[in-house]
């Protein structure tokens, strides 16, 4: 990317990088760290034409989340009731945000955490 003078990187954090919650300190620390790395690298590489941002997905319909529901570690109905949008996210919605961040349409976005969480991180 440096050689060609352009490029885009999207790091994967989580709403856990934007908020905090009991019993999740280690997870939240790692996701906050991803955002710190994103911001620092974005500043470091912006002059080389490399844009670095992060996506912060909320609870998304994936096999891992289905297993969490099955184990009873998280209740789907309770989660949906608490979420402003009253739904789980879809992997395609997260992928669309990543595609936008990688596209020329996001050419002025540098070092940003983009939430794709149905509003959970703002409540």
- Which of the residues are catalytic? 27
Instruction: Report the candidate in 57, 56, 47, 37 with the shortest Cα–Cα distance to residue 7.
Output: 47
Dihedral of alpha carbons 76, 78, 83, 87, sign: positive
SS3 118: coil
Distance, CA of 66 to CA of 72 (rounded, Å): 10
């Amino acid at each position: 990317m440096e050689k060609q003078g352009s490029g885009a990187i999207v790091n994967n954090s989580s709403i856990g990088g934007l908020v905090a919650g009991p019993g999740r300190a280690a997870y939240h620390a790692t996701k906050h760290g991803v955002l710190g790395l994103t911001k620092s690298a974005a500043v470091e590489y912006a002059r080389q034409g490399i844009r670095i941002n992060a996506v912060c997905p909320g609870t998304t319909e994936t096999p891992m989340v289905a297993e969490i529901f099955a184990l009873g570690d998280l209740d789907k109905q309770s989660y949906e009731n608490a979420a402003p949008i009253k739904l789980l996210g879809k992997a395609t919605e997260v992928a669309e945000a990543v595609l936008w961040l990688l596209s020329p349409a996001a050419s002025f976005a540098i070092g940003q955490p983009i939430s794709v969480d149905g509003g959970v991180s703002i409540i």
